[in-house]
Chain A
Amino acid sequence: MSAAARNDAVGARGRLGRLLAVIRAGLRSNFGLAVLKHRLFKEKKDRWLVPLFALAAAGVLPTLYGIVLLIQSAYLLLKPMGQERALLGAGFLAAQLLILLLGIYYVISAFYFSRDLETLIPLPLRPSEVMLSKFTIIMVNEYLTVAAIVLPVVITYGVMAKEGVGFWVNAVLVYAALPIVPLAVVSVLVVAMMRFINVSRKKDVLILVGSILLIALVLALQIGFGRTAGPGGPEASAKAVAAYFTSPDSLLNRIGSKFPPSVWATKAVAGGFSGAGLANLALLLGSSLALFAGIVVLAEKLFYRGLVGLGETTGKKRRLTSDEMSRRVSSGRRAVAAVFTREWRIMNRTPIFLLNGVLVVIIVPVIFVLMATMGSGKGGSGGGSDLTSILETMTSSNPLFVILAAALFMTLCGSLNGTSSSTFSREGVQFWISRVIPVAPREQAAAKFLHSYLISMLGVVTASVVAAIVLHLKAVHLAAAAVLALMMGVLLTAVGMIIDLARPLLDWTNPQKAIKQNLNVLLAMLADIGILTAAFFAVKGLVRTKLAPNAVLAVLFLGLAALAGLSYRLLLRFADKRYPEIDS
């Protein structure tokens, strides 16, 4: 071996070692195992989380069992038609689309908003190495996220079909490769978008607009799948349907027609070590590798150019005249109003917070409208039209169910966002300010409640508009549903805030961590589901007692009002107790 070749080999080994070191450091700092270990075993804090997690896991088990049963029955239904592979295809496709959608948030915040970038950029690392370390962190996140979708499908399928070693080996390889294609696609789009945005002064606005466009693109893609998933809609002739189902894997091919990697993944897993299986595996791994190489090249060329200077905002330098100063210096708001204004401004001016808070309550009902209306279009057969008609039939029968279903929909639209359950975490290292100002913790909590509740109300309003337009609900039913949803909103907002206050996550370096990857948001959602389930059984009990519908509604309203009042008072008392205990 010549000296030059030896140097090259050593250089390549050094580069690989360096890359692995960056990735290792990134994973450690992101998943914080060292911090968790320190808190659990050294400081002996957070120990109460262990039984809580055990409880949450135990709570999830029945749901998981239900999902497995559902997959089993779908398998038994599809098997005689030779369409069982569509099940795997649907699982992989759903996982990849989810990665595509979540990837937009993850990629933007990990590539461009994590504060450790300021430490990484001055180090002697190539742009591609920095970007790959971030890419790996997102990959690990995605593995954890899609496990809930992919694992039940693949394992149930494998067991039902009594698959051999080839299936399981390929399943592991496919699982490892699954996030690469969608994440690489998102990375390319985002890196290109940021390169363009960095030349502009209105970066925050452009990031927001760009993200919304990307989300719209992914949604459009998903709706596209919805339209092609079925065998051709209710208008399709029986003959066409028969022909459709007699061709093996036609359903699979149809499902995956717009996103072929999910078909390759399915055929690779189901085919095992057969020629077709290996060929599809090669196709999936090859395309993943090619795209991966593509983003490495792209990173070298564009990553730093979009990145450097993103944190810098240049403002114009201009002195205010004494008149202007007099106008802009506030003449004194009350403390609650001052804290509320601060919450409002910070939430709306931080793109990651805005995307996960205000925009979610607007986007979720809009997605519902799209799903409901797209399907009813000409030639469409997706779940949409069925969904609307199911809802219409269900709701026309009994006004009580109309009101309750609408109230549930409004509650979900208003409360299933991370605003309340990240309200304290979002303050991050600036929490010291809230601790030293002469404003009682209960007043600060009240202001934060007002902010979170306002966003929840916004969700109720958009959901009401959607319910009025799509489901043609009567005004009186809508009003009754909105009142119930607003009461439930108080309870869920207070519960979300209490959960966040119990253990606020203040040491984040990337705003994404405060809201999207915040455990409190997940715990609050579990709590919300628990509360809604309890409310469901309470209503069921009330209906069984043969009370008049109005009486059922009245009892429900009074019950919710009492719980709302109680939870709000509990929140204020808890704030007084917890604020002085929180390290900052």
Chain B
Amino acid sequence: MPVIELTNVSKSYNRGKVKAVDDLNLTVKPGEIFGFLGPNGAGKTTTIKMIVGLLRPDVGRVAVDGFDVAKDPLKAKQVTTYVPDSPAVYERLTGLEYLNFIGDVYGVPKAERLERIGKWLDVFELASVVTNPIQSYSHGMKQKIVVTAALLPGPRVMILDEPLVGLDPRAAHQLKEMFREHCDEGKTLFFSTHVMEVAEKLCDRIGIIHKGRLIACGTMDELQALDRTEHSLEEIFLELTDK
């Protein structure tokens, strides 16, 4: 059974004048790292926001782990965590207070909290600042605390919008390691990115969205077969989105 399933999903803005997502059909399987690519304004963030329940599709159905996001939002949210494209978090809380808040609302038991918080704070080098207010963090540190919070519930599905933006090379490397580790446990990861090399190396499958429509979807081999070449993902992307 697919973990993420979008069926005939459309979303427009300005009372139908701007079509952001147009009849999108997409499935992501358990244990998969799915990369979602597209030019600026192609509909990536709109799609992601519909998966996490921040936007409601005009038509169509979005389901996460079998739960309809519109009809059963709490069950869908319980298995999903989300990292937005800009880390807007509660600046007046300390990092640890924010993590405790997330742990509380997802109902994470104390032993698991301690283990995961300790591990990810070490990995992201946040352990020495976790009792400081988030407003004292740099952009990259805020991004890391949001990712740590998203990992804390041990979610079945993680949705990340441009997670690598603003991270230093070490943190970006650690994040990519985390992606693999997370999916090796049978969990699913869906992220958007503009970094083609990352998508090419890391993703099990890749979807390319252009002007609200999914124009290609599959493994790297399948995309190359579609193109009938040995081109890199960047070349395939440029060719497909140039049409």
Q: Which residues of A contact B100 (CB under 8 A)?
A: 328-330, 338
Contact: B77 with A313, CB < 8 Å? Answer: no
Chain B residues closer than 8 Å to A320, beta-carbon distance: 127, 130-131
Known A-B contacts A325-B117, A430-B88; A318 and B54 likewise in contact (beta carbons under 8 Å): no
| CB < 8 Å neighbour of A430 from B81, B89, B128 | B89
Q: How far is A314 from B137 in the complex, measured between Cα atoms in Å?
A: 9
Name A317's contact: one of B14, B110, B113, B129 (CB within 8 Å): B129
Whether B105 lies near A326 (C-beta < 8 A) is no
- A313 — which chain B residues lie within 8 A by C-beta? 132-133, 135-136
Query: Are A346 and B128 in contact, with the CB atoms below 8 A?
Result: no
Nearest residue in A to B131 (C-beta to C-beta)?
A: A320
**Closest 8 pairs between A and B when the two form their complex, measured CB to CB:** A315-B132, A338-B104, A438-B77, A349-B92, A438-B78, A331-B110, A317-B128, A429-B88
Per the 8 Å Cβ criterion, residues 90-120 of B in contact with A are 90, 92-93, 96-97, 99-110, 113-114, 117-118
Per the bound structure, the CA–CA distance linking A480 and B26 in Å amounts to 63
> A529 vs B238: C-alpha distance in the bound complex, in angstroms?
62
- A341-B101, A580-B56 known; A329 and B88 CB under 8 Å? no
Restricting to A300-342, which residues have a CB under 8 Å from any CB of B? 311-320, 322, 325-326, 328-335, 337-339, 341-342
B93 CB contacts on chain A under 8 angstroms:
342, 345-346
Contact flag A342-B15 (CB < 8 Å), given A329-B96, A329-B114, A333-B104 = no
**Is B82 an interface residue when CB atoms closer than 8 A count as contact?**
yes
| A333, A346, A436, A584: most-surrounded residue (chain B CB, <10 A) | A436
Residues from chain B with a CB closer than 8 A to the CB of A337 are 104
Q: Is A207 an interface residue (CB 8 A)?
A: no
Residues in B with CB closer than 8 Å to A31 are none
The reply to whether A339 and B15 contact each other, CB–CB distance below 8 Å, is no
Return chain B residues, CB-CB under 8 Å to A318. Answer: 128, 131
* B2 adjacent to chain A (CB < 8 Å): no
Other 6 A-B pairs with CB < 8 A, given A349-B133, A440-B74: A320-B131, A332-B107, A334-B104, A335-B105, A338-B105, A435-B53
Measured CA separation A476–B24 after assembly (Å): 67
Provide the bound-state CA to CA distance between A350 and B73, in Å: 32
Cα distance A44–B102 in the bound complex, in angstroms: 36
Tell me, yes or no, whether B178 is within 8 Å of chain A by CB. Answer: no
Q: Are B88 and A432 in contact, with the CB atoms below 8 A?
A: yes
> Closest approach, in angstroms, between the C-beta of B196 and any C-beta of chain A?
27
Which chain A residue shows the least CB distance to B146? A433
A378 within 8 A of B: no
Chain B residues with CB under 8 A of A331: 110
CB distance from B86 to the nearest CB of A (A): 8
Q: Cα distance A353–B78 when bound, in Å?
A: 31
Known contacts A313-B135, A437-B77; A338/B101 CB under 8 A:
yes
A439 at the B interface (CB under 8 A) = yes
CB distance B105 to A44 under 8 Å? no
From the candidates B99, B114, B129, B135, name the one contacting A326 in the complex (CB within 8 A).
Answer: B114
Asked if residues B54 and A332 are in contact (CB atoms below 8 Å), the reply is no
Contact of B84 among A326, A334, A432 (CB under 8 A): A432
Interfacial chain A residues near B88, Cβ < 8 Å:
428-430, 432
The answer, among B15, B89, B118, B131, for a CB contact under 8 Å with A43, is: B15
- The answer, yes or no, to whether A162 is at the interface (CB within 8 Å) is no
- A162 and B17 CA atoms in complex are apart in Å by 57
State whether A430 and B90 are in contact (beta carbons under 8 Å apart), knowing that A325-B118, A329-B110 are contacts in the complex.
yes
In whole Å, how far is B132's beta carbon from the nearest beta carbon of chain A? 3
Taking CB atoms and an 8 Å cut-off, the chain B residues in 42-75 that contact chain A are 52-56, 70, 73-75
Q: Which of B73, B101, B103 has the most CB of A within 10 A?
A: B101
Alpha-carbon distance A325/B103, docked complex (angstroms): 14
Residues from chain A with Cβ under 8 Å of B55 in the complex: 583
**Chain B residue contacts of A332, Cβ below 8 A:** 103-104, 107-110
CB distance from B80 to the nearest CB of A (A): 8
Contacting residue for A432 out of B54, B97, B110, CB 8 A: B54
**Which chain A positions have C-beta within 8 A of B70?**
580
Contact check, B77 vs A436: say whether CB atoms are below 8 A apart.
Answer: yes
* A354 nearest CB across to chain B (Å): 11
Contact mask A213-256 → B, CB, 8 Å, 1/0?
00000000000000000000000000000000000000000000
**14 A-B pairs whose Cβ atoms sit less than 8 Å apart in the complex:** A312-B136, A314-B136, A317-B129, A322-B118, A328-B131, A330-B113, A345-B92, A350-B92, A429-B88, A432-B88, A435-B53, A436-B53, A438-B106, A580-B73
By a CB distance below 8 angstroms, the chain B residues around A544 are none
Q: Does A202 contact B (CB under 8 A)?
A: no
Spell out B's residues near A (CB within 8 Å). Answer: 14-15, 52-56, 70, 73-75, 77-78, 80-82, 84, 88-90, 92-93, 96-97, 99-110, 113-114, 117-118, 127-133, 135-136
Partner of B131, one of A315, A338, A580: A315
Residues of A within 8 A of B84 (CB): 432
Q: Name A337's closest neighbour in chain B (CB-CB).
A: B104
User: How many Å lie between the Cα of A333 and that of B133 in the bound state?
Assistant: 21
> A6 an interface residue at 8 Å Cβ cutoff?
no
Q: Is A42 an interface residue (CB 8 A)?
A: yes
A315 x B133 contact (CB < 8 A)? yes
Query: With the chains together, A568 CA to B20 CA distance in Å?
Result: 38
In the complex, residue of chain B having the shortest beta-carbon distance to the beta carbon of A338 = B104
What CA separation (Å) do A432 and B128 show in the bound complex? 27
Closest chain B residue to A311 by CB distance? B135
Interface contact B89-A433, CB-CB below 8 Å = yes
Q: How far is the CA of A341 from the CA of B98 in the complex (A)?
A: 11
A345 to B97, CA, bound (A): 10
A43 — which chain B residues lie within 8 A by C-beta?
A: 14-15
Chain A positions within 8 Å of B105 at CB level: 335, 338-339, 437-439
Rounded to whole Å, the gap between the CB of B171 and the closest CB of chain A is: 17
Q: B14, B53, B132: which contacts A580 (Cβ < 8 A)?
A: B53
Tell me, in angstroms, the Cα distance from A333 to B101 when the chains sit together.
9
Whole-angstrom distance from the CB of A340 to the nearest CB of chain B? 11
Instruction: Give chain B nearest CB distance to A445 CB in angstroms.
Output: 14
In contact, B109 and A44 (Cβ under 8 angstroms) = no
CB proximity of B119 to chain A, nearest CB, Å = 12
A317 to B129, CA, bound (A): 5
Q: Which residues of A contact B109 (CB under 8 A)?
A: 332
Task: Give per-residue flags for A110-146: 1 if the beta carbon is below 8 A from chain B beta carbons, else 0.
Answer: 0000000000000000000000000000000000000
Least distance between A45 CB and chain B CB atoms (Å): 10
CB neighbours (8 Å) of A438 from chain B are 74-75, 77-78, 105-106
Q: Mark A286-312, 1 if CB is under 8 A from B, else 0.
A: 000000000000000000000000011
Given A42-B14, A436-B82, are A329 and B117 neighbors across the interface (CB < 8 Å)? yes
Provide the residues of chain A in CB contact with B90, threshold 8 Å: 342, 346, 430, 433
What is the CA–CA distance of A338 and B101 in the complex, to the nearest angstrom?
A: 6
A348 to chain B, nearest CB (A): 9
The closest CB in chain B to the CB of A44 belongs to B15
Closest to B73 in A: A580
Query: What residues of chain B lie closer than 8 Å to A433, measured between beta carbons?
Result: 89-90
